[in-house]
Amino acid sequence: MEIILQSERIFFREFTTDDTALILALNSDPEVVKYVHEEPITDLNMALANITNRIIPQYHTYGYGRWAAILKDTNAFIGWCGLKYRPERNEVDLGYRFIQSQWNKGYATESALAALKYGFEKLNIPSITAMAHIENTPSLKVIEKCGMHFQQFEQVEGCPVKVFRLNNPSQPANG
């Protein structure tokens, strides 16, 4: 298992098909997927399809993606965080999702900051976006704590979202 990046309490690795049960546990919770424009995953086949069709191809095509978040002290899976290239928008998107029992412990902010740093410093991405449903106050707070700047309101898959952006601080602003 290769560790892609680390934060103070968490390490991040690529998902494999061995993680099917973890994805099912995470994405079967209606509260976890409430604001993410997805139906809950209800069985192992759906979870496997999610890994093989959505997660793993990002690693091969772009060299990064959504990574499994594992607590360093217990080796427990707590969710995921990472970057995803969205060709339809020509942008790199920051995303995260955590098991409900792990909410309100600072893991989302810690993970998001680590992913942003990795994207800017290791991948040299010029800017990274993030979006959250307008009613998903905890996620909006994470995005704001990361220093991302509000850009606009949009409709994504029929859901109202706020879109944020952060430019790579080591690159000159386009101007």
164 Cα distance to chain centroid: 14
90 pLDDT higher than 60 = yes
Tell me the one-letter amino acid at 111.
S
Q: What pLDDT does 36 receive?
A: 85
Summarised one tens digit per residue, pLDDT across range 115-144 is 999 999 999 999 999 999 999 999 999 999
Please name the CATH architecture into which domain 3-126 falls.
Answer: 3-Layer(aba) Sandwich (3.40)
Q: Please answer whether residues 139 and 130 qualify as being in contact, where contact means their C-beta atoms are separated by less than 8 angstroms.
A: no
Summarised one tens digit per residue, pLDDT across range 53-85 is 999 999 999 999 999 999 999 999 999 999 999
- In our burial notation (b when 16+ CB lie closer than 10 A, e otherwise), range 67-101 reads bbbbeeeeeebbbbbbbbbeeeeebbbbbbbbbee
175 pLDDT higher than 50 = no
State the Cα–Cα distance between residues 32 and 35, nearest whole angstrom.
8
Summarised one tens digit per residue, pLDDT across range 144-171 is 999 999 999 999 888 899 999 999 999 8
Q: What pLDDT does 173 receive?
A: 63
Q: What pLDDT does 1 receive?
A: 75
Q: What pLDDT does 174 receive?
A: 56
- Cα dihedral 1, 66, 116, 135, rounded to 10, equals -140
Helices 107-121, 137-145: axis angle to 10 degrees equals 40
Q: What pLDDT does 156 receive?
A: 85
Question: How do the domains of the chain map onto residue ranges?
Answer: 3-126
- Give the pair of three-digit tokens for residue 41: 């995953």
State the Cα–Cα distance between residues 111 and 142, nearest whole angstrom.
10
The count of residues in the chain is 175
